[in-house]
Amino acid sequence: MNKLIFATNNQHKVDEIKSVIGNLFEVISLKEAGIDIEIPEPFNTLEENAVTKSETIYKLTGENCFSEDTGLEVKALNGEPGVKSARFAGDTRDFTGNLEKVLLKMKGETNRTARFRTVVSLILNGEKYQFEGICEGRITEKAEGISGFGYDPIFIPNGAAETFGNMSLAEKNNYSHRKKATEQLLDFLSRYGK
């Protein structure tokens, strides 16, 4: 077991996951696997969406696979955008529109506390497993930086002085929710079957 299909069409996520996994396992994106589908994310939790994505690809291929779903949870917005993070400003998945909507809703708000939460769903030999990574931080007053994707330019992780948007991928991995979830996945895979 050294190959895993990653059930995503988001190349940014593929790059981030591969930067953590390195050469320990071969991660194959949907595009690399020749799978051209958009998997719906209709549910109200990250967990359900992540499972649906991995189940869809497992049923299609019969191959070991994993997926992830990530949400930005802002305390002052009662956890929004949360599971709707990718479509917060509409179904077009407009990253700029999404973060502008968060900044607009946060205007004048003093409690800027937020967190990124990633749920990874793994299907290995037909069995399902889940892993979670959380990065606590805060929302900035304005977008800063052009690195990363999504809400990275408006999120400063705890312990850092600048946004994910101002960090290299290696710097982001010092704090990243996605890295934390992926490390749990890796730890599980390294112990699996022992």
Q: Catalogue the long-range contacts made by 104-110 (C-beta closer than 8 Å, 24 or more residues apart).
A: 105/77, 105/80, 106/74, 106/76, 106/77, 106/139, 109/76
Length of the chain, in residues = 194
Tell me the average pLDDT across 112-135. Answer: 97
Give the list of residues 6+ apart from residue 94 with CB closer than 8 angstroms, or none: none
Active-site hit among 69, 94, 152, 187? 69
Predicted confidence at residue 193, as pLDDT, reads: 66
pLDDT digits (tens, 9 = 90+) for 15-56: 999 999 988 889 999 999 999 998 888 899 999 999 999 999
Model confidence at 131, in pLDDT bands (50, 70, 90)? very high
The per-residue pLDDT for range 93-107, each reduced to its tens digit, is: 788 999 999 999 999
pLDDT (tens digit, 9 = 90+) per residue, 73-98? 999 999 999 999 999 998 877 889 99
The residues facing 28 across adjacent strands are 5
pLDDT band at 155 (very low <50, low <70, confident <90, very high): very high
User: How many other C-beta atoms lie within 10 A of the C-beta of residue 183?
Assistant: 16
Clarify whether 69 is annotated catalytic: yes
* Helical axes 11-21 vs 177-191, angle rounded to 10°: 50
Cβ atoms of 98 and 89 closer than 8 Å: yes
Tens digit of pLDDT for each residue in 161-194? 999 999 999 999 999 999 999 999 999 998 886 5
pTM: 0.94
Query: Residue 1's pLDDT band (boundaries 50, 70, 90)?
Result: low
